[in-house]
Amino acid sequence: MVLLAHRERAAQQPREAPPVEWQAQSPPADGHSQTEEWLGIYLNGTKLGYAHNRRGRHGDGYRIQTTSRLQLPLQGQLRDVQTDATVEIDAANRLRTFDFQMRSDVQTMRVQGTAEPRALHLTIHTGGTTTRRRLPLQKPILIPDALTPLLARTGRLRPNTTHTVELFDPVALAPATATIEVGELERVAGVDGPIEALRTELSYRGFRTVAWVTPEGETLKEESALGWTTVRQRRETALAPPEAKPDVDLIASAAIPSNIPLRNPRRLRFLRVELTGADFSTLSLATERQRVERPDSGILEIRTETIDPAAVPRRPVSLPRMKPYLAADVMVQSDDPEIRATAKEVVAGEPNAWEAAKRIGRWVHDALEKSPTVSVPSAVDVLRSRRGDCNEHTILFVALARAAGIPAEIAAGIVYLEQNNSFYYHAWPRVWVGRWVSMDPTFGQEIADAAHIELTHGGLDRQAEILRLVGRLRVRVIKAEE
C-alpha cells in the first residue's frame, strides 16, 4: 500500500517546498535532441530521493525513460525502492511498448507491455515466475509517465483545456480513466525568481495530482499526498544525499486519529463507527461482518463472525461459485510447486476447511519476520524471504489457502492500534468455510477482531480504490464492546 500510495498521488499543500532550480532553454533547431530532467523528491521538506527523466526521438517514434530512487522511512527504518521505466510511442503518437521495473530489499518486479489497437499484451515477472496476460482495450491507452510529454508533443498542452485518457499503471496492474485539466499560467518559486508554468490537475482513480509544467511538457513542480513534493533541480542538487535522517514516518503520517481510545482492541467483538471525509460508494462496506446503517450515513456496525462446525465444508472446496477464490493469479501463485508443497505440509492432511485455515494462519504468523517493507508482494517472493508486513502475511496466507483447496481473498481497510490512539491502513485475508470469515495472521488472530474495518476486497485494482482516502478519511467511534 505504501508503494501504491507513492504512485497514485493526491494533491495536498506541502510544507517547506524547496524552490525550483531551472532556466528555460531554447528549443533545438532540429527537434531531435534529447530532453533531460532531474527532480528532487521531498516529504514535508525532508529529502527522500530523486527522479531522472529523459525523452526524445527514437526511430520513427518517441522514447520516454524515467528513473526514481527513494529511501522511505517506515517505523524507524529506511527502505530503498527503485523504479525504472521505458515507454516507446509510435509515429502516430500511440503507445507501442513499455518496460517497468521496481526493486526493493525484498522484491524485484518487472512488467512489460506491447500495445495493439484492441489489446495490451502484458508479461509480468515476479517471484521467479513469468505470467502473460491479454488486456482488451476499447480505446488507446497510455502509461502515466508518458501523459504530459505526449500532450506537449501533440500540441494539446494548452491553457484552459481538458483531456480524458485511458491510463495503465504497471504497479496496480489495471487500467483506469484519467482526466487532466490544464489551467492558466501561474508563478512557481524559483531560486532566481518566479517562473511561469501551466498548472495541471490530474484526476485518476479518485486521486488528484497538481503539477506545474512548461508548455514543452517539462515538469517544474508536483504536489502530492500527505506533503510529497517533486521539484525540478540541477543534477548535482537532485543527486545530493539527504542532510539528515528523516524525522517523518510514512505509516504514521497516514494514520487516522480516533475520537476516543479503545481498550483491548484485539478482543473487540462489536464496533459502531461513523466514516466521513470521502465518497464510499465504490467501496465494499457492506459485508457478512459489517452492516451499513444507511448508504448516505457512513455509519457501520462491525461484528466478529462465529463458526458453525456443522456448516464447515471439507476441503478441497469445489463449489462452482468459489472458483475465482481458488484460482492462481499474477501475485497469488497458488499453483506454484513451492506454494503447493508448503500448503500440503502445513495442513498435514486435515480435511476440515476451518481447521486447515487455522493451521495456515498460525504457520504464516510464526514463519514470517514482522518487518515493514515496500513492495507489490507476490506469494512466492514472501515464501522465500520469510519477512514482511500485513500485505506479505496476507498474500502468502491466501496463496497457501487456495493451494489447500480453501477459498480465500485479500481484504483491505483500517485497523485500530493503541499506538497513538489511531486507525492504520491494513490488509488481512478472508476465507470461505461455509461462510466468509476474516482472519489476521499478522496479529495471530484466528478470527479478526471488530476493530478491523473493511473498505474493499479483491486484487490490486480493488485495493487501489482505498488509496484516495489517505489524508481524507475520518473515523468517529460510537460504541465498542468486547
Reference 349, options 396, 383, 315; nearest CA is: 315
For 9-14, what is the mean pLDDT?
37
Strand residues in 59-206 grouped as ranges (E): 61-74, 77-89, 95-104, 108-116, 119-126, 129-136, 141-142, 161-169, 174-188, 195-204
Confidence category of residue 28, pLDDT binned at 50, 70, 90: low
Is CATH 3.10.620.30 the classification given to domain 255-481? yes
Reference 162, options 177, 143, 141, 174; nearest CA is: 177
Q: What are the C-alpha distances in Å from 200 to residues 136, 219, 220, 232, 419?
A: 29, 10, 11, 16, 38
Cβ proximity of 202 and 209 under 8 Å: yes
Neighbours of 248 (CB within 10 A): 15
**Residue range 244-280, pLDDT digits in tens:** 677 777 888 889 999 999 999 999 999 999 999 988 8
**Residue range 168-217, pLDDT digits in tens:** 989 888 898 999 999 999 999 999 899 999 999 998 877 788 999 999 89
Reference 168, options 230, 225, 107, 87; nearest CA is: 87
Q: What is the pLDDT of residue 5?
A: 42
Q: What is the pLDDT of residue 9?
A: 36
For 59-63, what is the mean pLDDT?
92
Q: What is the pLDDT of residue 33?
A: 67
Q: What is the pLDDT of residue 242?
A: 81
**Residue range 299-324, pLDDT digits in tens:** 999 999 999 999 999 999 999 999 99
For 221-234, what is the mean pLDDT?
88
3-state SS, residue 38: strand
Q: What is the DSSP letter of 289?
A: S
Main-chain phi, psi angles of 143, to 5 degrees = -100, 140
Q: In sequence order, which residues have a C-beta less than 8 Å from that of residue 269 and are 6 or more positions away?
A: 303, 304, 449, 450, 481, 482
| Strand-pair partners of 185 | 198
Cβ proximity of 265 and 451 under 8 Å: yes
Q: What is the pLDDT of residue 26?
A: 60
Q: 220: buried, middle or exposed (CB in 10 Å: 19+, 13-18, 0-12)?
A: buried
The number of residues in the chain equals 482
Confidence category of residue 3, pLDDT binned at 50, 70, 90: very low
Range of lowest pLDDT (17-31, 48-62, 259-273): 17-31
Q: Cell 522484491, residue? A: 107
Q: What is the pLDDT of residue 249?
A: 78
Q: How far apart are CA 136 and CA 471, in angstroms?
A: 34
Q: In sequence order, which residues have a C-beta less than 8 Å from that of residue 435 and are 6 or more positions away?
A: 288, 305, 308, 311
Q: Domain locations in the chain?
A: 2-250, 255-481
Q: What is the dihedral of CA 72, 470, 292, 445, to 10 degrees?
A: 10
Q: What is the pLDDT of residue 13?
A: 39
Percent of the chain, pLDDT > 70?
94
Main-chain phi, psi angles of 392, to 5 degrees = -70, -45
Does residue 7 have a pLDDT over 70?
Answer: no
Q: In sequence order, which residues have a C-beta less than 8 Å from that of residue 320 and are 6 or more positions away?
A: none
**Residue range 327-349, pLDDT digits in tens:** 999 899 999 999 999 999 999 99
**Residue range 87-97, pLDDT digits in tens:** 999 999 999 99
For 410-427, what is the mean pLDDT?
94
Mean pLDDT estimate for the chain: 90
Percent of the chain, pLDDT > 90?
71
Most distant CA pair in the chain, distance: 79
Q: Cell 503507445, residue? A: 95
Cβ proximity of 438 and 408 under 8 Å: no
Does residue 445 have a pLDDT over 90?
Answer: yes
- Pairing of the two strands 161-169 and 141-142: parallel
One-letter amino acid of 69: R
Residue 229, all three cell numbers? 513534493
